[in-house]
Amino acid sequence: MKQPRAWQRMLSGRRLDLLDPTPMDVEIEDIAHGLAFVARWNGQTMGDYAYSVAEHSLLVEQIFAAMNPKTPVKWQLAALLHDAPEYVIGDMISPVKAAVGPGYETLDDRLMAAIHIRFGLPAQVPVAIKKQIKKADKISAWMEAIQIAGFTRSEADKFFGKPDPNLAELVQIRLRAPLEVRRDFTARHNELLAQL
């Protein structure tokens, strides 16, 4: 019986094996491009452009850095890359991830390990750092929910937790063209990588 194709050809020319990803097949340009065209909230956001995972990742890194100003740069890079596997597996809302089950998490973990190793990070982020990134991720989700996804503050508080008011007012989300977001994501990645 013929095995189904388990790799994806990237615009860089790389072939990323989804079942056995290697760091050698990971390029930041592919990640930035993919994430800039993947919509968060299943595209259910207000505005002329979808709110991309790349834009969300830039926001999470900004929140993480504000919450942890003395943290090493490598963890800021980990925050920027926290959703990087979605450049090939897409962004699934939490209810869909729960329905898919542990297979999604296994695939996500494999891809994340290859991405981290490619950019000089440990395959596994320490639990304490992972918790801080998750906290920044939830604050970002709260901001997105009330600013562009149509949630009331009380709904956002219920689903994402009430954030520190100083962090919640950090930025005004604006929706931008994918190519602009791709450029900014790549530039921020390169800035952080140069500081390692």
% of residues, the chain, pLDDT over 70: 100
Burial of 98 (0-12, 13-18, 19+ CB in 10 A): exposed
Task: Say if residue 95's pLDDT is above 80.
Answer: no
State which fold the 26-194 domain adopts: Hypothetical protein af1432 (1.10.3210)
Beta carbons within 8 Å of 90's beta carbon, 6+ residues apart: 38
Higher pLDDT, 129 or 100: 129
Rounded-to-integer distance, Cα 42 and Cα 137, Å: 17
Task: Say if residue 94's pLDDT is above 80.
Answer: no
135-179, pLDDT tens digit by residue?
Answer: 999 999 999 999 999 999 999 999 999 998 888 877 899 899 999
Alpha helices in 37-151 (DSSP H): 53-67, 73-80, 86-89, 94-100, 102-118, 127-147
The pTM is what?
A: 0.95
**pLDDT band (50, 70, 90) for residue 39:** very high
- Measured in whole angstroms, the distance separating CA 79 from the mean position of its chain's CA atoms is 8
Helix axes 53-67, 127-147, angle to 10 degrees: 120
Q: Quote the mean pLDDT of the chain.
A: 94
- Measured in whole angstroms, the distance separating CA 151 from the mean position of its chain's CA atoms is 21
**pLDDT band (50, 70, 90) for residue 118:** very high
List the domain boundaries for the chain: 26-194
